[in-house]
């Protein structure tokens, strides 16, 4: 019997892959438990798309979200005005492919990122303000029916992810 892993943003696991060269380490008992059981698939879509560390912060165009970027209705532009849409979409597609190969049905992703955000994004004006929205990886995962959770939803995720495990265990008993 094999159980599907949890896709997780690499920066939440302490990997220094963020635009500013840092991590966004998320210390949590559920996460530690799943890590100890080898249940995590930590990936960074922006690195997968070939972007360097550090890199300029980038935002999805105002009024748009990750689904618009995937549908080529919106661009992602960095602080210098560079269009970085292509590596963002490429990296998100690569992470999606890995998640599907591994059988993932759940993901825990960093909030407010143009890749990993699930309910909050920066405005698109590089002015430090936020708005409702979701990133490119989140859009692709949801299109495939993979449930995406933000760190503040970890308890809800734990119930769903552990329940999915329990179902598989029962089926193979
Ligand atoms: Fe973290 Fe996602 Fe940004 Fe990579 S793309 S640094 S995993 S939030």
Average pLDDT over residues 92-110: 98
Q: Residue whose CA is closest, atom 6 of ligand 1?
A: 18
Residue with tokens 């009024």: 63
Confidence of residue 94 (pLDDT cuts 50, 70, 90): very high
pLDDT of residue 166: 72
53-68 pLDDT per residue, tens? 999 999 999 999 999 9
Confidence of residue 167 (pLDDT cuts 50, 70, 90): confident
Ligand 1 pocket, residue 11 CB under 6 Å: yes
Q: Tell how far the Cα of 52 is from the centroid of ligand 1, in angstroms.
A: 12
pLDDT for 114 beyond 70: yes
pLDDT for 168 beyond 80: no
pLDDT for 112 beyond 70: yes
Q: Tell how far the Cα of 2 is from the centroid of ligand 1, in angstroms.
A: 27
pLDDT of residue 139: 99
Ligand 1 pocket, residue 55 CB under 6 Å: no
Q: Give yes or no for a contact between 147 and 139, defined as CB atoms under 8 angstroms apart.
A: no
Q: For the chain, how big is the Rg over CA atoms in Å?
A: 16
33's enclosing H/E stretch is helix 29-36
Ligand 1 pocket, residue 138 CB under 6 Å: no
Q: Tell how far the Cα of 170 is from the centroid of ligand 1, in angstroms.
A: 35
Mutate to test the pocket of ligand 1, among 46, 49, 98, 121 (most ligand atoms within 8 A of CB): 46
Distance CA 71, CA 2 (A): 34
DSSP of 34-91:
HHHTT-EEEE-HHHHTT--SS---EEEPTT--HHHHHTTS--EEETTS-B-HHHHHHH
Percent of the chain with pLDDT over 90: 92
pTM higher than 0.85? yes
pLDDT of residue 164: 86
Q: Residue whose CA is closest, atom 3 of ligand 1?
A: 18
The two structure tokens encoding residue 101: 């190969």
Calculate the average pLDDT of the chain.
Answer: 96
pLDDT for 33 beyond 50: yes
Residue of 131, 132, 110, 105 whose CA lies nearest to 45: 110
pLDDT for 7 beyond 90: yes
Average pLDDT over residues 126-154: 98
pLDDT of residue 1: 46
Mutate to test the pocket of ligand 1, among 18, 58, 138 (most ligand atoms within 8 A of CB): 18
The two structure tokens encoding residue 117: 């955000």
């Amino acid at each position: 019997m094999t159980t599907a892993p949890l896709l997780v943003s690499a920066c939440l696991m302490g990997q220094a892959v963020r635009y500013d060269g840092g991590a966004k380490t998320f210390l949590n008992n559920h996460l530690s438990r799943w890590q100890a059981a080898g249940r995590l698939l930590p990936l960074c879509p922006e690195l997968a798309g070939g972007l360097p560390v550090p890199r300029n912060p980038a935002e999805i165009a105002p009024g748009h979200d990750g689904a618009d970027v995937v549908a080529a209705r919106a661009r992602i532009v960095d602080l210098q005005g560079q269009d970085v849409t292509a590596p963002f979409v490429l990296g998100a597609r690569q992470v999606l492919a890995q998640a599907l190969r591994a059988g993932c049905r759940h993901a825990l992703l960093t909030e407010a990122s143009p890749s990993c955000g699930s309910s909050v994004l920066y405005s698109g004006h590089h002015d430090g303000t936020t708005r409702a929205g979701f990133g490119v990886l989140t859009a692709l995962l949801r299109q495939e029916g993979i449930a995406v959770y933000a760190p503040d939803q970890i308890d809800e995720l734990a119930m769903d992810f552990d329940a999915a495990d329990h179902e598989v265990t029962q089926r193979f008993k």
